[in-house]
Chain A
Amino acid sequence: MTTLAETVSDSVTITRRNLIKVKRVPDLIVFATLSPIMFVLLFRYVFGGAIDVPGDVSYAEFLLPGIFAQTVVFGSTITGASIAEDLQKGLIDRFRSLPMSRSAVLIGRTVADLGLNAISIVVMALTGLVVGWRINTSVGEAVGGFVLLLAFAYAVSWLMAVVGLLVRTPEVVNNASFMVIFPLTFVSNAFVPLESFPSVLRTFAEWNPVSTVVQGARELFGNVPAGAPLAEAWSLQHPVFYSLLWAVVILIVFVPLSVRLYVRTSTR
């Protein structure tokens, strides 16, 4: 019914609307950038001394891709909270009563949040360079590393959109998503080497897509220690492919599901 061109045009309108909010509410951008800076500094200087990294790489180099991944995955939770907020304020009702594309509100939302994540990652990368993180590969590979991180985060945004449409209260969305995101990011290789985990947790961490995104980013930025032991799990041997596969599967499941929920949703 709605053509592709109309969907694109509506999505652009909604993306613009969401980005205007980022401009008008500076807190959003401040928190999206300050908390990652804080994480970089905390881990680098507080835990850095206590965490042993195998091979000949500094903890800063090991750490930064982990911080990147954690931050963009956390950043994606904004999608759920924002959709719940729009539902609560009756804006989703207004949009649903308009002759606009039925997927544009969700596309515009996730694209705007992707933009916010991109800003966070730039700020973190600059902070990282100050504290000793380095890119040791080509420009192309480095760009690939950032794309991998953002692509995975974009997929998580759609998962969060479903959470927002189901839960409907921004505060609850935040709490609920932290319950999931915290274990996913901490039971991974983001901050500590996998060798330090007990066996069951280690298997979980090896197949955890956050680990593979981090591993993939480390490879693409050249932050994998030269003397590090080779990963045993297949997922960690092919981290980029495995991570992108996750992103694609999440999108295949959650894009149609969230559009369906959006079409059916109703505040009473």
Chain B
Amino acid sequence: MSYAVVVEGLLKRFGKTTALGGVDLTVSEGTVLGLLGPNGAGKTTIVRVLSTLLLPDGGRAEVAGLDVVTEAAQVRSMIGLTGQYAAVDEYLTGRENLEMVGRLYRLSAREARRRAEQLLERFELTDAANRPAKTYSGGMRRRLDIGASLIARPRVLFLDEPTTGLDPRSRLGMWEFIADLVGEGTTILLTTQYLEEADRLADRMVVIDHGRVIARGTADELKAQVGGERLEMTLADAGQLGAVAEALRPLTHGEPRLDAQTRRLSVPVSGGVDALAEALRRLDGHSAGVLDIGLRRPDLDDVFLTLTGHAAEGDEPSDEQDESATTVSAGANR
């Protein structure tokens, strides 16, 4: 299989900080690569180099077989880019935005109109097509932005944190749109802070931190490295943390993590909901005062804790954990 994106030893410095310290990665034609990492890890820098917005200081990068430095102009006609902040002109209507970008991709006026119409329909923007983008919700803007990057049917699509800042409902919708694109054979490089997102959309993943690749593989391979699911709970009394960890020891296959500050306890388990049920049974007679207990699949924080020994800084904590947690009630329904 041929590669749509090849990156070798990519280096980029901003003043004294090293944004990329020699990154290697490849994306096979027609697949999705999830580029994971916390804020400031270098994800966006990689996308900016690959989309010819930024010159690298060293190394080499090819998109669709073209060098991003020496053949930048040709690269631009092969790619679509959706940045972190929806780059739509808010004074133009949805349709005008798409037609403008289509024209700038050198489509004929007629073809740009036709494609704009198709994309408005596809991204469910037909009703809002003649309204200035200023009036759009965050999710609509993001859809319009992705529509714009698709107008000339790019061979390689870069999606830089396509769902950051979207509410959960828009995020789900966005995932469906991206999954459809994948089904049509578009090669996609997707950056995200959320393992769950990469899990849903990406064939392979590359995890970076401080400008270096720290892990790569499929979702399953990464999860195996991270160590599977964890049982997490919050206790009423921090003094009970040790006792509860001890009570659960037979269930776990690793070291529990205790945090007295938040009165939280997290232990690696296997066996899914059964482990949760067993834990509840064991804690039944215990006077620990469990306020909250749940089974959580590994997320990016776990990847980072496991791989680097430090948490993903700048990651938004509470929301994301809630979403990926299987709560007791949800577990009981299965």
Contacts and interface: CB of A to CB of B under 8 A. Distances in A.
B193 interface: no
- A1, A10, A13, A16: residue with the most chain B Cβ atoms closer than 10 Å: A13
Contacts of B101: 94, 98
Interface string B128-149: 0000100000000000000010
A94 B48 contact: no
A266 interface: yes
A260 interface: no
Nearest to A89: B87
A141 interface: no
B104 A10 contact: yes
Interface stretch (A19-27, A162-170, A208-216, A238-246): A19-27
Contacts, number: 73
A97 B79 contact: yes
Contact of A24 (B73, B105, B132): B132
Contacts of B54: 266
Contact of B89 (A17, A98, A266): A17
Given A17-B89, A20-B91, A99-B77, A268 B44 contact: yes
Contacts of A39: none
Contacts of B103: 9-10, 13
A9 B103 CA distance: 9
A155 B83 CA distance: 33
B126 to A, nearest CB: 20
Which of B44, B91, B105 has the most chain A CB atoms inside 10 A of its CB?
A: B91
Contacts of A90: 83-87
A2 B77 CA distance: 12
A39 B29 CA distance: 63
Interface residues of A, number: 26
A20 B92 contact: yes
A95 B104 contact: yes
A57 interface: no
Contacts of A25: 91
A2 B74 CA distance: 11
A24 B100 CA distance: 16
Given A94-B87, A266-B48, A268-B44, A99 B76 contact: yes
Contacts of A13: 100, 103-104
A96 B87 contact: no
Given A98-B76, A99-B105, A99-B106, A24 B81 contact: no
B197 interface: no
Given A24-B132, A89-B85, A266 B77 contact: no
Nearest to A17: B100
B52 A97 contact: yes
Given A99-B77, A266-B53, A17 B44 contact: no
B191 interface: no
Contacts of A93: 53, 81, 83, 87
A94 B148 CA distance: 10
A142 interface: no
A91 interface: yes
A13 B105 CA distance: 11
A171 interface: no
Interface residues of B, number: 32
A91 B83 CA distance: 10
A16 B100 CA distance: 9
B51 interface: yes
Given A100-B104, A266-B48, A20 B96 contact: yes
B320 to A, nearest CB: 24
B91 to A, nearest CB: 4
A116 to B, nearest CB: 14
B105 A98 contact: yes
B52, B74, B85: most-surrounded residue (chain A CB, <10 A): B85
A28 B51 CA distance: 34
A195 interface: no
Interface string A92-111: 01111111100010000000
A6 interface: yes
Interface in B210-230: none
B134 to A, nearest CB: 8
A98 B152 CA distance: 10
A261 to B, nearest CB: 14
A99 B73 contact: yes
Contacts of B14: 268
B85 A24 contact: no
Interface in A213-268: 266, 268
Contacts of B92: 17, 20-21
A45 to B, nearest CB: 37
A2 B105 CA distance: 12
9 contacts: A10-B103, A13-B100, A17-B96, A90-B83, A93-B87, A94-B148, A99-B76, A99-B77, A100-B106
Interface of A: 1-2, 6, 9-10, 13, 16-17, 20-21, 24-25, 89-91, 93-100, 104, 266, 268
Given A10-B103, A17-B92, 6 more contacts: A10-B104, A20-B91, A25-B91, A90-B86, A99-B77, A99-B106
